[in-house]
Structures are given as structure tokens and as C-alpha cells.
Structure 1
Amino acid sequence: MGFKTGDFPPVDTGTFLELPLRERMRVLALHWVEYGFGTPKMVHTIYLAKVLMLYMFGGVLVATLTSGAGPFWDVAHWWNAPIVYQKLVLWTVLLEAVGAAGSWGPLAGKFKPMTGGVLYFARQGAIRLRPWRRVPLTGGDARTPVDVMLYLGFLLSLLIALLAPGRTTAALLDALPDNTSGLIRPALLIAPIALYILCGLRDKTIFLAARGEQYLPALVFFAVLPFTDMIVAAKLLIVIVWVGAGASKFGRHFTNVVPPMMSNSPAMPFRSIKRAHYRDFPRDIRPSGVASFMAHVGGTTIEVITPIVLLFSTNRWLSLAAVAVMVIFHLFITSTFPLAVPLEWNILFAYLTVFLFLGFPNSKGYGVFDMSSPWLTVAIVAALAFFPVLGNLRPDLVSFLPSMRQYAGNWASALWAFAPGAEAKLNTLAHRPALNQVDQLEASGYEPVIAEITMQQTIAWRSMHSQGRGLFSLLYKHIPDLDRWTVREAEFACNSLIGFNFGDGHLHDFDLIDAVQRRVGFAPGEWIVVWVESQPIHRSTQEYMVVDAALGVIERGTWEVADAVEAMPWLPDGPIPHRVSWRREDVAGASPVRPDAAAQPAE
């Protein structure tokens, strides 16, 4: 791999697209094992420059200049200043909400333009996805002038709170008598909190893009809690995020995540180590024992045990060791450049670990038992744990982000299949600032066949995860001539429609399909979606649905996670078993149906 030249799959571009889909997936999956996406080093350099200059340098500069905690080059002076911590959180929320942080650039499927976010969220008429149908005043799927005003007001309110000077409080001076920079004025946080919620109720995409499941509680703590309680509550928040994410990795899915993640890491130059994560490359690329060890010892165990140590330890050296472990943990994740590229989030969490647990150690009066009331502690823990618990029991009700299943492998997922030529219809969608990804690549100078193979690498990546085996099995079952069709990874494809993606199938569920269909009007049999929900923690199955965009849901059922995990990515032994629970009677696969067939109502 060169600086400007990536590792493109070694295929005959003149004939590769004529091969059966299974063979294409085999070739591309095997290539992924050793090279990942094959991204040029220049792309990773752009991300590093963005993180270093825009996020870290820009954030610290703004935080120190506006708070009096600077100068910014004097790290020893400001690293544990509470207002700097508050403002770095606000800075992160602002960049996430604008679309300049996570889910940005080519590694997130944004080639031209590289930014989604504000280009969609501030555009009247763009697709809007409400989180829950029963919330009043949230009907419709088009962004209205009110939605645009709420979003822009949210950004403005963040800027005001970010740029305003701090104010000291009695509680702060009691704890830190020498503090002169103060804290963000609670009154300035009322508008961001309210607009966070209002924007989220109108459009879940904005709430998830701004990482509201993690940063909204922090803003509430800043606004309503006295200083010591605020610090302890922040510790509870970060520990629940860690432990929730760690606990979600128990089960069969996460082991399948680690090998393709390591294969895609630019920080791992040794192909031998990459291959060691697979059982018997190139004959069997299911996860090896090394992958299981990395997943559940190097990952899950650290992410569950170390935060608990941090929360309760009063020993300086034990706390220092635990802080070092978690900082290294987040820096390691950053080095892998995971898809959706949440680099800023990982850098912030590395800083928060140092700030909270070394800057305000448990032994100095900032332990979990030092909160002003034990009932307040119980209430905060219950509130923070509510969505993770609900989301693991009823994943259909809660996005995987509030469920704290970050990169756990247990995702709602989908594949989109278009009849020959039908994908181009998406480019007729109004109020959309980007074309389909394959067209973005062509506009960036890629030859059409190179652009197409590049996009097929994303579905090969999906096939290496547990859900991919089940989704491809459904496609083979429902589309007899699938080799002729265009198959897309919905996670990538949806971001060109709504401006954001983060591994969450709830961003491209039936609501998005329905919204697109109303605007574009696919004919029956032109756009088939296979979609699966996350696995509930107490069940061994995942629930799927098959959707014809023109007709609605045509089949529902389940598959056993164990069957999906044990299958090879390209399904050489055929589709995995499915259990059909409901099927529309007048539809058989993707074959034509009666013109007068009644459409399935949106569910």
C-alpha cells in the first residue's frame, strides 16, 4: 500500500462483475483478511490531521481562551480545570451535530461531499426519521422549517454556552478554593438540553449523530448538580457506558467483529498477525482462538472489570494503572479506524478517564459514596441504566447506541438489492445533497467498474459478520437471479439519504424505506430489502423481515444466531436455516405480482 495508492483487490476488472455473487464475496472477503478496505494511507492521514488540528487543538484553544484556564500550551494548568472539561464536551457535541466528527469522510461512505450532518439537517424537505410513532407532533417524514430552526438553534445554543466565560459557585469554591475559571453558567445549558430533546423527538438521526445518549446526561449534570455531585455523576456515566458496552459483547457476535476490524487497521502492518485471527486462511476465515481471546479477554474483560476498579478504587497506584489501561484501550480503538470512525469520541473518553479519575480521585472526596445523597446516586444509576437494560431486552424499541452496544457486533443490519438499473432511481430523490456512493466515487475520478468493485467490498465486509450470513441467505432465497442484481450494504447506502450512519439498522428500517418509496416510487420487485433486528439478550434468535419497497413487508421470521455464526461468509454450503413466522400470500420472492395487489401497511 502506498501513500496515495490503496490495495485494490487483485481481480480482472473486465470479468469480475460477471462472476456469481458468491464467488465475488469469497474473493473480496479473502482480500479483506489481509488488506481490509485497502484504503490509501493518505486517507488515514487526513483523519489524523482533522482530529489533531480541528478537534484537539481547536477544542483546547476554544476552551482555554474562553474560560481563563489557559494558556492552551500550559497543559499542567488546565488539564484538570472543570470548565475545560465541560467545554470539551460541548465542543465534541457541536462537531458531532455538525457532522464534522464521527461518521465523516470516505471511511464512513462519504466520498463527495465528505460531510453529511448539517448539509442534511439544515435542509428543508430532507428525510426526517422520528424515533417513536406515538409521540405527538412528530408525524411526517420531511424536514420542515421548524425542524431546521430547532437544529440551527441547537447549534447556536451550544456555541453560546461554549464561548461564554465561566462563573464560580459556592460548591466549586468549597471544593477548589483556588479556582478562578469557574463553571459554565447553568442557565446557558437550558436551551441546549431542551433543543437536544426536541430535535431528537422530531428526528432520531440528529439525536444519534450528536451522541445524545452520552452527552445529554452530561449536560444535565452540568446544569443541575453541585460540583462534587457533578463529578461523581460524570464518573457513573462513563462507567455505565463502558460496562454497558462490555456486557453487550457477551455472546456469539463480538468474536466475528474483531478479525475484520484488525484486518482493516492501518496500525497493523503484519499480514501474519491479521491471518492469525482466522481459523485456517484461506480455507476457513471464521474467527480463530486468537480472535476469541482478543475479543473477550483483551476487549470484554477489560471493558467491564477496569471501569469497576476505577469507580471504587481508593488506592492511587491501582487507580493509575486502571486509568492507563483505559487510555490505551481507547487509543487502540482509535488506531484501528473503525467504520463510522468515532475517533473524536475515543480521544475524549481517553481524556475524561484522566480528568475524572486522576484529577478528582475517589480518595479525595469524589468517590461514588461521596455524593450528597445515596438516593441521588440510586436515581442517577437507574436513569443511566434504563435504556441499556431496555435496549438489550427489547432492541426493537431502542437504538443500539442508547443500548450501549457500541461495536459489539450485535447490530440491526440490512442489505439492499436493486433490480438491474433500479438503484439509479435513488438519485432522483429531491432535497438530497449527495448521490449514491458508487456515483460519488465516479465523480471523484474512479472508473465505473472500479467504483462498483469498491462498493462490493462493503457487502463482503458485512458477510464476515454474523448478520451478513443470515441476510445473504434471505437474498438467495427471495431473488433467484441475484447474480444480476445490485446488492448494497444498507449502512453505507443510507448515509447518502439521511447524512449519517453508525452501525445502527434503526436508521434504515421500514420508516426510511417507506419515506424513500413515497418520494421515488419503485415498481414491485425493483428494490428488495432484507433487514434484521439485534438479538435480545435473553433469546437465541434474531428477527428479520423482507421488504419490497413498493409492496411493504412480504415476510417475517427468525434465524438462530448459532447457525449464522458457524456459516462461512460466502455461504458455500448454502443459505442458513430460517423460520418463517408470517408471509404475504400474493408474493413469491422477487417475481412479479398482480398489479392490483394491496400494499402492506407500514408497521
Structure 2
Amino acid sequence: MGFKTGNFPPVDTQTFLDLPLRDRIRTLALHWAEYGFGTPKMIHTIYVAKVLVLYMLGGVVIATATSGSGPFWDVTQWWNQPIVYQKLVLWTVLLEAIGVAGSWGPLAGKFKPMTGGARYFARPGTIRLRPWRRVPLTGGDTRTAFDVILYVTFLATLTLALLAPGHTTPALLQALPDNTSGLVRPVLLIAPVVLYVLCGLRDKTIFLAARGEQYLPALMFFAVLPFTDMIIAAKLLIVIVWLGAGVSKFGKHFTNVVPPMISNSPSMPFTAIKRAHYRDFPRDIRPSGLASFMAHVGGTTVEVITPVVLLFATNRWLTLAGVAVMVIFHLFITSTFPLAVPLEWNILFAYLTVFLFVGFPSSGGYGVFDMSSPWLTAAIAAGLLFFPVLGNLRPDLVSFLPSMRQYAGNWASALWAFAPGAEAKLNTIAHRPSLNQFDQLLAMGYAPEIAEITMQQTIAWRSMHSQGRGLFSLLYKHIPDLDRWTVREAEFACNSLIGFNFGDGHLHNRDLIDAVQARVGFEPGEWIVVWVESQPVHRDTQSYQVIDAALGVIERGFWQVADAVDVQPWLPDGPIPHTVTWRRDHDSEPAVRAIR
């Protein structure tokens, strides 16, 4: 792999697309195991430059210059200043909300243009997805001028709070008598908090893009809590984020996440180590013992034990060791450039770990038992745990992000299948800022065969995860001539329709399909979606739907997770077993026959 030249799959581009889909998936999955997406290192360099210059340097310069905590080049002057911490959180929210942080660029399926976010959220007429149907005044799926005003005002209030000078408080001076920078004025945070909620109730995409499940509580703490309570609440927040992510990895899914993530890491130059994460490459690319160790010792154990240690430890050296572990953990994730590329989030969490637990240690009066009231501690902990608990019990009600299942592999997922030529109809959607990703690649000068194989690498990536085996099984069952159809990974594909995705299948569920169908009008049998919900914590199954965009749901059922994780990505022995719980009645038989 060169700086400008990627490692494209070694196939005959003129004949590869004529092969059966199983053969294509096998070839591309084996290539992924050794080279990942094969992205040129120039692309990774662009991301590194964005993080270093725009995010880190830009954020520190703004935070220090507007708070009097500089100079920015002297880290010792500002790393433990509370207002710098607050402003770096605000800076991160602003960039995420605009769309130039996570889920940005070609690694997130944005080729041309590379930015979604504001291009969609500030444009009337684009698709809007409400989170819950029963919330009043949120009906419809079209972004209105009112929605745009809410969103732009949200950005403006974040900017105002970010740029305004600090304000000292008695609680701050009592804790830090020598502090002269103050804190962000609480009154300036009221509007961003309210608009966070209003924008999110109108469009869940904005809320998730701005990572509201993590940053909204932080802004609320900044706005209403006295200084010491604010710091302790922030510790509870980051620990619950870590614990939620760690606990979610207890199931069978996460081991399947590690090998393709390591394979895609530009910081892992040794092909032999990548292959070692698979049982018997190239004959068996299920996860190896090494992958299981990395997943559940290097991942699960770290995220469960270390946060608890940090929350309760009063020994300085134990705290420093825990901080070092979590900083390395986040830097490692950053180095792998995971799909959706949440680099800024990981860098911020590495800094927050140092700021909260080294700058304000439990031994210095900032322990969990030092909050002003135990009832307040209990209320904050309960509030932070509400959505993670609900989301793991009823994943249909809560996105996997508020459920705190980052990187767990237990995601709602989908594959889209288009009859020959039908995918092009998506390009007729009005007010859409970008074309289908296949057409974006054509516009960049890619040959059609190269563009198509590039897109098929994403479905090979999906096949290497547990859900992919079940989803492909459904497609083989419902579409006999699937080899002729166009199959797309929904996480990537929906990016061009709504401007954001972070591996959350709730952003491309029935609501998005209906919104697109209302604008395009696919014929029965032209666009088939196989969609699966996350696995609830108390069940061994995942529930699926087969959806014809023109007809609605045509089948529901479930599969055993154990069956999905125990087969090769390309399903050499055929589809995994499914249990059908409902099928569309015979009145739709002519259309159903078209997909069987």
C-alpha cells in the first residue's frame, strides 16, 4: 500500500462482477482480512491533519484565547483549567453538529462531497427522521424552515458559549482560590441544552450526530451544578460511558468486530499479525483465540475494571496507572481508524481522562462520595443509566449510541438490495446534497467496475460481522437471482440520504425507507431491505424484518445469534436457520413472487 495508491483487491475487474455473489464476498472478505479497505495512506494523513490542526490546535487556541488560560503552546498553563475543559467539550459538540468531526470523509462513505452534517441539516426539503412517533409536533419526514432555524440557532448558541469570556463563581473560588479564568456562564448554556433537545425531537439524526447521549448531560452539568458537583458528575458520566461499552461486549458479537478492525488499521503494518486474528487464514476467517483475547481482555476487561478503579481509587499511583490504561485504550482505537472515524471523540476522551482523574483526583475531595448530597449522586447515576438499561432491554426503543454499545458489534444493521438499474432512482430525490456513493466515485474519475467493486468491499466487511451472515441469509432466501442485483451496506448508503451515520440501524429503519419511497416510488420488488434489530441483553436471538419499499414489511422473524457467529462470512453451506413469525398475506402474492 502506497501513500497515494490503495491496495485494491487483486481481481480481474472485467470479469469479477460476473461471479456469483458468494464468490465475490469470499474474495473481498479475504482481501479485507489482510488489507482492510486498502485505503491509500494519503487519506489517513488527511484525517490526522484534520484532527491535529482543526480539532486539537483550533480547539485549544479558541479555548485558551477566550478564557485567558494561555498561552496555548504552554500545556502546563491550561490542561487542568475547568473552563478549558468546558470549552473543549463545546468545541467538540460544535464540530460534530456541523459534520466535520465523526462520520466525515471517505472512510465514512462520503467521497464527494466529504462533508454531510450541515449540508443536510441546514437545507429545507431534506429528509428528517423523528425518534418517536408519539411526540407531539414532530410529524412528517421533510425538513422545514423551522427545523433549519432550530439547527442554525443551536450552532450559534454553541458558538456564543464557546467564545464568551469566563465567569467566576463562589463555589469555584472556594475549591480553587487562585483560579482567574472562571467557568462558562451557566446562562449561556441554557439555550444550547434546550435546542439540543428540540432539534433531537424533530430529527434524531442531528441529536446522534452531535453525540447528544454524552455531551448533552455534560452541558447540563455545566449549567446547573456547583463546581465540585460538576466535576464529580462528569466523572460519573465518563465512567458510565465506559462501563456501558464494556458490559455490551459480554455477548458473542464483539469478538467478530476485532479482526476486521485490526485488518483495517493503517498502524498495523504486519500482515502476519492481521492473519493471526483469524482461525486458519484463508480457509477459516472466524475469529481466532488471539482475537478473543484482544476483545475480552484488551477490550471488555479494560472498559469494565479500569473505570471502576478510577472512580473509587484514592491512591495516586493507582489512579495514574488507570489513567494511562484508558488514554492508551482511546489512542489505540484512534489508530485503527474505525469506520465512522470517531477520532475527535476518542481524543477528547483521552484528554478528559487526564483532566478529571489527574487534575481533580478523588483523594483531593473529588471522589464520588464528596458530592454535596448522596441523593444528588443517586439521581445523576440513575439518569445516566436510564437509556443504557432501557436500550439493552428494549433495543427497538433506543439507539445503540444512548445505549452505550460503542464498538460492541451488537448493532441494528441492514443490507439494501436493488433490482438491476433501480438504485439510480435514488438520485431523483429532490433537495439531496449528494448522489449515490457509486455515482460519487464515478464523478471522481473511477471506472464503473472499480467503483462497484469498491462499494462491494463494504458488504464484504458487513459479512465479517455476526449480523452480516444473517442478513445475507435472508437475501439468498428472498431473491433467487441475487447475483444480478445491486447489494449495498445500509450504514454507508444512508449517509448520502441523511448526511450522517455511526453504525446505527435506527437511522435507516422503516422510517427512512418510507420517506424515500414517498419521494421515489419504487415498484414492488425493486428495492428489498433486510433489517435486523440489536440483540436484547436477556435473549439469545435477533429479530429481523424483510421490507419491500413499495409494500412494507413482508416478513418478520428471528435467528439465533450463535448460528450467525459460527459460520464463514460467505456462507459456503448456505443460509443460517431463521424462524419466521409472520408473513404478508396472499393478497400481495404477485409482488412477493417477484422477490422469491
Instruction: Say yes or no: TM over 0.5.
Output: yes
Q: Give TM-score, length-normalised by structure 2.
A: 0.99
1:56 maps to which residue? 56
- Residue type of the alignment partner of 1:170: P
CA deviation vs aligned residue, 1:183-211 (integer Å, no higher than 9, x gap): 00000000000000000000000000000
| Mapped partners of 2:128, 2:491: distance in 1 | 17
- Residue type of the alignment partner of 2:154: F
- Number of paired residues? 594
Q: Map of 1:254-333 to 2, 5 A cutoff?
A: 254-333=254-333
- Residue type of the alignment partner of 1:564: A
2:220 maps to which residue? 220
1:516 and 2:505 matched: no
Aligned with 1:546: secondary structure? strand
Aligned with 1:340: secondary structure? coil
Aligned with 2:66: secondary structure? helix
- Kept in 2, the 8 Å contact 1:340–1:501? The answer is yes
| Mapped partners of 2:123, 2:319: distance in 1 | 47
1:417 and 2:417 matched: yes
- Residue type of the alignment partner of 2:584: R
Aligned with 1:338: secondary structure? coil
- Residue type of the alignment partner of 1:453: I
Q: Give TM-score, length-normalised by structure 1.
A: 0.98
- Kept in 2, the 8 Å contact 1:479–1:589? The answer is no
- Residue type of the alignment partner of 2:77: H
CA displacement at 1:589 relative to structure 2? 9.6
| Mapped partners of 2:222, 2:591: distance in 1 | 54
CA deviation vs aligned residue, 1:68-92 (integer Å, no higher than 9, x gap): 1111011101000000000000000
1:494 maps to which residue? 494
Q: Map of 1:402-551 to 2, 5 A cutoff?
A: 402-551=402-551
1:575 and 2:589 matched: no
Aligned with 1:69: secondary structure? coil
Q: Map of 1:160-179 to 2, 5 A cutoff?
A: 160-179=160-179
Structure 1 residue ranges (4+ consecutive) displaced by more than 4 angstroms after TM superposition: 587-594
1:98 maps to which residue? 98
2:29 maps to which residue? 29
Q: Map of 1:81-120 to 2, 5 A cutoff?
A: 81-120=81-120
1:401 and 2:401 matched: yes
- Kept in 2, the 8 Å contact 1:528–1:590? The answer is no
- Residue type of the alignment partner of 1:393: L
- Kept in 2, the 8 Å contact 1:477–1:589? The answer is no
CA displacement at 1:585 relative to structure 2? 2.2
Aligned with 1:248: secondary structure? helix
| Mapped partners of 1:334, 1:37: distance in 2 | 16
Aligned with 1:86: secondary structure? helix
Aligned with 2:115: secondary structure? coil
| Mapped partners of 1:74, 1:471: distance in 2 | 52
1:389 and 2:389 matched: yes
CA displacement at 1:10 relative to structure 2? 0.2
| Mapped partners of 1:522, 1:136: distance in 2 | 30
| Mapped partners of 2:592, 2:350: distance in 1 | 53
CA deviation vs aligned residue, 1:263-283 (integer Å, no higher than 9, x gap): 000000000000000000000
1:598 maps to which residue? none
- Kept in 2, the 8 Å contact 1:478–1:589? The answer is no
| Mapped partners of 2:585, 2:139: distance in 1 | 30
Q: Map of 1:329-344 to 2, 5 A cutoff?
A: 329-344=329-344
| Mapped partners of 1:528, 1:201: distance in 2 | 29
- Residue type of the alignment partner of 2:73: W
| Mapped partners of 1:133, 1:104: distance in 2 | 29
- Residue type of the alignment partner of 1:456: Q
| Mapped partners of 1:167, 1:263: distance in 2 | 48
1:124 and 2:96 matched: no
- Residue type of the alignment partner of 2:226: P
- Residue type of the alignment partner of 1:383: G
| Mapped partners of 2:275, 2:548: distance in 1 | 39
| Mapped partners of 2:114, 2:428: distance in 1 | 20
- Kept in 2, the 8 Å contact 1:478–1:590? The answer is no
Aligned with 2:250: secondary structure? coil
CA displacement at 1:588 relative to structure 2? 5.7
Name stretches of at least 5 consecutive residues in structure 1 with no aligned partner.
595-603
| Mapped partners of 2:291, 2:73: distance in 1 | 41
| Mapped partners of 2:437, 2:501: distance in 1 | 13
CA displacement at 1:591 relative to structure 2? 4.9
| Mapped partners of 1:508, 1:170: distance in 2 | 48
1:10 maps to which residue? 10
| Mapped partners of 1:112, 1:590: distance in 2 | 36
CA deviation vs aligned residue, 1:73-132 (integer Å, no higher than 9, x gap): 111010000000000000000000000000000000000000000000000010000000
| Mapped partners of 2:500, 2:430: distance in 1 | 17
- Kept in 2, the 8 Å contact 1:479–1:590? The answer is no
| Mapped partners of 1:406, 1:80: distance in 2 | 27
| Mapped partners of 1:15, 1:302: distance in 2 | 46
- Kept in 2, the 8 Å contact 1:419–1:527? The answer is yes
1:600 maps to which residue? none
CA displacement at 1:567 relative to structure 2? 1.1
| Mapped partners of 2:62, 2:14: distance in 1 | 52
1:239 and 2:239 matched: yes
1:375 and 2:379 matched: no
Return closer, same or farther for 1:589/1:535 CA change in 2, 3 Å cut-off: farther
Aligned with 1:84: secondary structure? helix
CA displacement at 1:445 relative to structure 2? 1.1
CA deviation vs aligned residue, 1:447-475 (integer Å, no higher than 9, x gap): 11000000000000000000000000000
- Residue type of the alignment partner of 1:37: F
1:65 and 2:65 matched: yes
CA displacement at 1:590 relative to structure 2? 6.5
| Mapped partners of 1:82, 1:592: distance in 2 | 63
- Residue type of the alignment partner of 1:68: G
| Mapped partners of 2:69, 2:12: distance in 1 | 59
- Residue type of the alignment partner of 1:142: T
| Mapped partners of 2:471, 2:594: distance in 1 | 23
- Residue type of the alignment partner of 2:460: A
CA deviation vs aligned residue, 1:465-517 (integer Å, no higher than 9, x gap): 00000000000000000000000000000000000010000000000000000
CA displacement at 1:592 relative to structure 2? 5.1
Aligned with 1:140: secondary structure? coil
CA deviation vs aligned residue, 1:224-277 (integer Å, no higher than 9, x gap): 000000000000000000000000000100000000000000000000000000
- Kept in 2, the 8 Å contact 1:97–1:210? The answer is yes
Aligned with 1:160: secondary structure? helix
| Mapped partners of 1:532, 1:593: distance in 2 | 22
1:599 maps to which residue? none
- Kept in 2, the 8 Å contact 1:416–1:528? The answer is yes
Q: Map of 1:132-211 to 2, 5 A cutoff?
A: 132-211=132-211
| Mapped partners of 1:188, 1:171: distance in 2 | 18
CA deviation vs aligned residue, 1:254-313 (integer Å, no higher than 9, x gap): 000000000000000000000000000000000000000000000000011000000000
| Mapped partners of 1:287, 1:425: distance in 2 | 39
Name stretches of at least 5 consecutive residues in structure 2 with no aligned partner.
none
- Residue type of the alignment partner of 2:248: S
Aligned with 1:249: secondary structure? helix
- Kept in 2, the 8 Å contact 1:466–1:564? The answer is yes
Aligned with 2:554: secondary structure? strand
- Residue type of the alignment partner of 1:38: G
Q: Percent identity?
A: 84
| Mapped partners of 1:442, 1:5: distance in 2 | 17
Aligned with 2:399: secondary structure? coil
| Mapped partners of 1:499, 1:83: distance in 2 | 32
Aligned with 2:112: secondary structure? coil
